[in-house]
Structure 1
Amino acid sequence: MTKRILLIVSGGIAAYKSLELVRLLRKRGIAVRAVLTESAQKFVTPLSLGVLTEDHVYGDMFDLKEEREIGHIQLSRQADLVVVAPATANILARMAGGIADDLATTLLLATDKPVLAVPAMNVRMWHHAATRRNVAQLKADGVHVMEPDNGEMACGEFGKGRLPDPEAIAAEVARLLARPPAADPLAGQPDFEAADAPLAGRHVLVTAGPTHEPIDPVRYIANRSSGKQGFAIAAAAARAGARVTLVAGPVHLPTPPGVTRVDVETAREMLAAVEQALPADAAIMVAAVADWRAADAADQKLKKDGSGKPAPLALVENPDILATLGRHAKRPGLLVGFAAETQKIAEHARAKLARKGADWIVANDVSGPPGSSVMGGDSNSVHIVSKDGVESWDHLPKDAVATRLIEKVAHVLSASAH
């Protein structure tokens, strides 16, 4: 049976991307019916959307002919998924407040179907306390909210707030449509969790990538972590139905569909973001956090003085994020750490397991040259160390490692719930 979505386009400059989104959704075999807010019609015409959707485009709450023939209640419930893209700060606020003052917000309040909001706005608007509060409320209400992308804005500023690429939105729509339908919340029945969404209702926290610890404004201490394994794990958890928070160090990787991404630079910023994301059912700490940082980062670039002697560099130890979670008041039910080792892989991982208070340590051998199969590469060979022993996996693509690890996480969390 053909899947149908109701696409609500609100009035931001990114509204023009809704045309490409419709084309991509139709290419996937998904039927689209569109609603334009009054301000969206300043950017996109009903005619252009109507040509692409091959359907009537709605916009007027008080068009009696439309209301008599289809009705806003029926319109809100004929689709399998309601998508708001772009979702401006204004419509997010109205959604969070339960306001129904036009056709779009009335449909959102009347629908009994899942809702996906795809924010797009100025970076300062996205980070404003009111927007953060509204997004948190929507997530608590069960709305799926994609994380906006980083980049240059139409206004000339740079930062988080750009509408995600239409391909990423289409992939997230397809993922949500593939999930089993939840029970009607008004019927007082629990949501159905199927085998293909084993982490539905769970919150999974993932860290990924390196940290950069500044020495001066142009130099930093880091490592060769690409972030690929952590991003693959976050993507696999989202595909399994989890609500995923990905705390990412400085990497140039696209945000996986359905994942909430928090970008950080230093170990201390990563720890703060991790604690802010708690509670979580499972935390998978994949990031290669720098063990040390400069005791006093210089405000100006350090210069050679002609003596031939290196500039003094005093180091202090960074906070241990995994150990902090191991003894945290909000310790996740399942705590997984990663260990990048160059020798005695399993032996060092067992010691780390006891020292950090983790449930599992995923150990891998990173002794190869730069760009090898682990650091910066696309494959991995891991050993899962727990109190029950060591489970060694064959060399696999990082996506396959991620899928297998998330299956194992889902199994443990499911068993602990019974």
Structure 2
Amino acid sequence: MNIAVVGTGYVGLVTGVSLSEIGHQVTCIDIDADKIEKMKKGISPIYEPGLSELMAKNIEEKRLFFTTKHEEGFSTADVIYIAVGTPENEDGSANLTYVEVVALKISELVTKNTIVVIKSTVPVGTNDLIQELINNHKRTDVTIEVVSNPEFLKEGSAIYDSFHGDRIVIGARSEQAAHIIEEINKPFGVPVYKTDIRSAEMIKYAANAFLATKISFINEIANICERVNADVEEVAKGIGMDQRIGNKFLKAGIGYGGSCFPKDTKALLKIAGYVEYDFELLKGVVTVNKNQQELLLQKLKNRFDSLQGKRIAVLGLAFKPNTDDMREAASIVITEELVKQGAQVVAYDPISMENAKKLLVSSIIYVNSVEEAIQNADVALILTEWDEIKYMNLDLFKTMKTPIVFDGRNCFELDSLKDSMIEYHSIGRPVITREMTNALI
């Protein structure tokens, strides 16, 4: 089938490439000419494992195309996916400007019956709004039906998720439109759940809010564990064995970040507010996460009288591993405060340093390896659980001026630190001091 995808951000590009991989003719549209030229050469503007390889393959096999011209993409399209950004407004609501602009373009240019699929994360009622907008502005007597098909991709495993997802949600007014979108996605081999449009819109927000709730919950349990001398890793394993709870999203740390959870939880709070419902639980989730991002700073302040002049190595900057995404990353808040406190910050991330330089304070020193970052450092902070950090040789910490580690992602088993002479602070677990040799519980 001929498909146009408007927007080549994270969702749009992964969607377009994945659809081309299962055999569809896909034209990706973006107004950024430089970005389009790079993508025509198979150069991905984002880091995502496996994405560049699939781009190059499908460009070569002439199933994947890129253009800045909407009319070029729309002229042969049977289905148009809207995958533009819905950034957060100052009040936490979703900004639908880009979605509406694309809808008006569709109204202006589409000259045959077409299905419009909204892939962007949008508030409940948006599909109805876009349907009305298109109907009121279309220039020809054609049928354009809007369908909700929210994405459930995880950054760092988005290509894998496309082919191994838990479900594909389709919200449509007509069975025919739902069937067409189901057929488009059939080669993925992922279960399809068809429902009404507003329920499909809500499913996306409810799913992300629930996962964010699990993260904030285990972080609250971690904070209690520290006070009662329990180990949150053991607690998480124990409760995760209960099939009603499950073991995913129970990793204690310094909170969630990225483009979805922070934005979507706040947007859902606004949706609740519009219907005069006070979503107290979700308010707590957001507050807990904000506090959790500052937890390592509090631990540092409790450990040291002053950070003035201390050389602090920051290991990991992206909000999670296997992505270069810095949106809502804990490193933004933490490094800014460290610099304010007079520390010298030396940072390393295997992928996201170029993006980090655009967001973090200018005085940060960037280096090319973990080894270089921790050399002669007074303290090391772990903010992203990259594999090269999780599996590093712990003896490297002995090259620090003082081997003191604050691990915001619980990368290391406590037993592995036995006899290491490393002072180790983690989340929801007992502190390991250099004097402890055989006292681990």
Q: What TM-score comes out, normalization by structure 1 length?
A: 0.33
Q: What TM-score comes out, normalization by structure 2 length?
A: 0.32
